[in-house]
Structure 1
Amino acid sequence: MLSYTITFLIIALIAAALGFSGVAGAATSIAHICFVVFLILFLISLFTGRRPSV
């Protein structure tokens, strides 16, 4: 999931540098959504991850 975010971020940066504002905006939005989903899943797995058995 994080690799998708980085990929879309790189696409957005290249598109912004070349002047493709529509593509850059779309890639930035997708990267932001992927990052938020990744962060939420990370926090859930952090709290519900492996716990030592008692």
Structure 2
Amino acid sequence: MLGWSLLFFIFALIAGVLGFTGIAGTAVGIAKILFFVFLVLLVISALASALRGRPPV
């Protein structure tokens, strides 16, 4: 999922440079959402791993 957010971020940068501001704004919004979803899943995974007595990955 982090790869997808980076892909949309790069797409937004390219679109912004080329002048497609509407597309760039949409891509940035998608990248932000995917990044925060990734962070939430990472925290949940770390907490679940800690509760089972295993070190976090």
Is TM more than 0.5 here? yes
How big is the alpha-carbon RMSD for the aligned residues of Structure 1 and Structure 2?
1.0
Name segments (4+ residues, structure 1) moved above 2 Å. none
Larger relative contact order, structure 1 or 2 (CA cutoff 8 Å, min sep 6) = 1
Q: What TM-score, normalized by structure 2, do the two folds share?
A: 0.86
Count of aligned residue pairs for this structure pair: 52
The counterpart of 2:53, out of the listed 31, 51, 54, is 51
5+ residue gaps, structure 2, are: none
Query: In the aligned structure 2, how far is the partner of 1:16 from the partner of 1:33?
Result: 19
5+ residue gaps, structure 1, are: none
1:12 paired residue number = 12
Q: What TM-score, normalized by structure 1, do the two folds share?
A: 0.91
